[in-house]
């Protein structure tokens, strides 16, 4: 973790999707990184894929009691939904209200069913940003949606998901969009998920260099 944090200022914890981590583990991670480092924590599949956002208040409370041990280094929560989960307004309203009753920080949603395009007003109401995913599986899902207080690009690799590296041209375009978000003082995240072939670190370093070049003018 310390070596990683010497090169980057953020990380997405994906393992929390598969298994819970104790509060002590999150606290230890927080102590291992510099003051400006931030964590994005993926919500457990028990909530998103098994409960499917229904009747999960107890599980949600447990998860939040664990990950909030990161303190001010908890940057945001990532809620990735299964492709089969369509938008049910009452279910979504109940879930996000329960979440907001317990957690006021940044939350980003990665929906993967086309019907979630209808959820923009609800996301804005609850200050939930919609992930800009690549490749996107829903219309306009490659653009930041929902609440515009945060922009969260999540890059899975294309054309071969989780494997393919991104071209220089793609990274230059992303660097321009991310730099524009930062200039507007929007909380900005760029997370590479193309980890299967080791492309994620290379792409992240290349993007970092391009953003720094943009900043230098």
Please enumerate in sequence order all residues whose Cβ is within 8 A of that of 199, keeping only pairs 6 or more positions apart, or say none: 157, 163, 164, 165, 166, 192
> What's the confidence (pLDDT) of residue 215?
87
Which domains, and CATH codes, for the chain?
1-130 (3.20.20.410), 152-217 (no CATH)
> What's the confidence (pLDDT) of residue 217?
73
3-class secondary structure, 140: coil
Question: What tokens does 46 get?
Answer: 């028990």
For 85, other C-beta atoms within 10 Å of its C-beta total: 18
What is the distance between the alpha carbons of residues 165 and 145, in angstroms, rounded to a whole number? Answer: 25
> What's the confidence (pLDDT) of residue 190?
99
> What's the confidence (pLDDT) of residue 2?
80
> What's the confidence (pLDDT) of residue 14?
97
pTM exceeds 0.85 for this model: yes
Below-50 pLDDT ranges, the chain? none
What is the distance between the alpha carbons of residues 140 and 148, in angstroms, rounded to a whole number? Answer: 15
> What's the confidence (pLDDT) of residue 216?
86
3-class secondary structure, 215: helix
What is the distance between the alpha carbons of residues 95 and 61, in angstroms, rounded to a whole number? Answer: 12
Question: What tokens does 48 get?
Answer: 């998103």
Pairing of strands 74-80, 106-110: parallel
Contact between 106 and 75 (Cβ < 8 Å): yes
What is the distance between the alpha carbons of residues 64 and 70, in angstroms, rounded to a whole number? Answer: 10
> What's the confidence (pLDDT) of residue 200?
96
Closest to 99 in 3D by CA, of 61, 144, 44, 137: 61
What is the distance between the alpha carbons of residues 179 and 80, in angstroms, rounded to a whole number? Answer: 25
Burial class (CB in 10 A: 0-12, 13-18, 19+), 38: middle
């Amino acid at each position: 973790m310390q070596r990683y944090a010497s090169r980057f200022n953020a990380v997405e914890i994906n393992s929390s999707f598969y298994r819970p981590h104790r509060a002590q583990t999150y606290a230890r991670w927080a102590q291992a990184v510099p003051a400006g480092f931030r964590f994005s924590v993926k919500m457990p599949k028990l909530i998103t894929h098994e409960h499917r956002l229904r009747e999960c208040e107890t599980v949600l409370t447990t998860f939040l009691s664990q990950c909030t041990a990161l303190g001010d280094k908890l940057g945001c929560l990532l809620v990735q939904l299964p492709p089969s989960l369509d938008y049910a307004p009452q279910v979504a309203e109940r879930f996000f209200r329960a979440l907001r009753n317990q957690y006021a920080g940044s939350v980003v949603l990665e929906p993967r069913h086309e019907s979630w395009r209808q959820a923009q007003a609800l996301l804005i109401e609850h200050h939930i940003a919609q992930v800009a995913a690549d490749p996107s599986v829903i219309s306009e899902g490659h653009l930041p949606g929902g609440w515009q207080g945060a922009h969260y690009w999540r890059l899975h690799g294309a054309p071969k998901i989780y494997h393919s590296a991104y071209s220089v041209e793609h990274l230059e375009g992303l660097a321009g969009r991310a730099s524009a978000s930062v200039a507007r003082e929007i909380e900005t995240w760029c997370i590479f998920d193309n980890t299967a072939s080791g492309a994620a670190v290379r792409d992240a370093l290349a993007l970092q260099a391009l953003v720094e070049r943009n900043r230098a003018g």
